[in-house]
């Protein structure tokens, strides 16, 4: 093959690649776009919860075998804000049990609540079992629609297991921080929700 033939062959090859790119690049772009998850949208139809001290169970003792005694009351964990969204899971989470399959798959619908809490336990209002009023907090949610309670599974990124374990956050005395809660449900007609806490003064068993 002489020099002119090589140049011609190279030009043909470049043209073939360019033309084929017209077809495969949009296809690739479509694949990449389809793999993304739509952003959350505000759940404007859901009743908002005003800032308040949240109800829950405060544990008075704990052991390796049980959660120990507890009492139900309004805790000293203050709800600063809670903002609900409708969205989709951006990850697949598998059950800790190998035979359990997926807890949730990427793209599945979820109800999202961005919750900001403040730990109000201090020397005046001490937290049982704690030497420094650090609170280990598990959040439990009940969703409602016009038809009653909505069946939803807590699949929050901070939830390492499955229900009844819930979204988790740890707060030092006086600290304010946020946690994002994911509840797996396809229901888009949620009217309101309730928050109930389990609060430990030491790491739960």
**pLDDT of 195-205, one tens digit each?**
999 999 988 76
pLDDT tier at 141, thresholds 50, 70, 90? very high
pLDDT value at 15 more than 60: no
Q: Is 165 exposed, middle or buried (0-12, 13-18, 19+ CB in 10 A)?
A: middle
pLDDT value at 106 more than 60: yes
pLDDT value at 5 more than 50: no
Query: Hey, where are the domains in the chain?
Result: 1-36, 41-200
pLDDT tier at 103, thresholds 50, 70, 90? confident
Query: Helix, strand, coil proportions of the chain in percent (round to 5)?
Result: 15, 40, 40
Residues 6+ apart with CB under 8 A from 149: 142, 143
Average pLDDT (173-184) is: 97
**DSSP secondary structure string for all residues of 114-162:** EEEEEE---SSSPPTT-SS--EEEEEEEEEEETTEEEP-EE--TT--S-
Determine the number of helices (DSSP H) and then strands (DSSP E) in the chain.
1, 12
What is the predicted pLDDT for the residue at 113?
A: 98
pLDDT tier at 60, thresholds 50, 70, 90? confident
Of residues 50 and 29, the one with the higher pLDDT is: 50
- Of 6-15, 68-77, 91-100, 181-190, give the range with the top mean pLDDT: 181-190
Average pLDDT (38-63) is: 90
What is the predicted pLDDT for the residue at 143?
A: 98
């Amino acid at each position: 093959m002489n020099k002119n033939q090589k140049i011609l062959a190279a030009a043909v090859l470049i043209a073939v690649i360019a033309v084929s790119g017209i077809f495969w690049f949009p296809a690739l772009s479509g694949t990449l776009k389809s793999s993304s998850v739509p952003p959350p949208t505000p759940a404007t139809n859901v009743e908002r919860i005003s800032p308040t001290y949240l109800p829950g169970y405060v544990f008075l003792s704990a052991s390796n075998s049980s959660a120990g005694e507890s009492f139900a009351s309004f805790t000293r964990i203050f709800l600063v804000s809670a903002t609900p969204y409708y969205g989709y899971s951006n990850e697949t989470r598998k059950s800790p049990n190998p035979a359990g399959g997926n807890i949730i798959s990427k793209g599945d619908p979820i109800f999202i609540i961005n919750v900001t809490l403040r730990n109000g336990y201090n020397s005046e209002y001490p937290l049982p079992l704690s030497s420094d009023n650090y609170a280990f907090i598990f959040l439990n949610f009940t969703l409602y629609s016009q038809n009653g309670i909505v069946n939803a599974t807590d699949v929050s990124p901070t939830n390492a297991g499955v229900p009844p374990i819930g979204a988790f956050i740890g707060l030092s005395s006086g600290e304010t921080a946020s946690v994002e809660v994911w509840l797996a449900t396809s229901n888009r007609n949620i009217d309101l929700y309730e928050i109930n806490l389990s609060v430990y003064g030491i790491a739960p068993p």
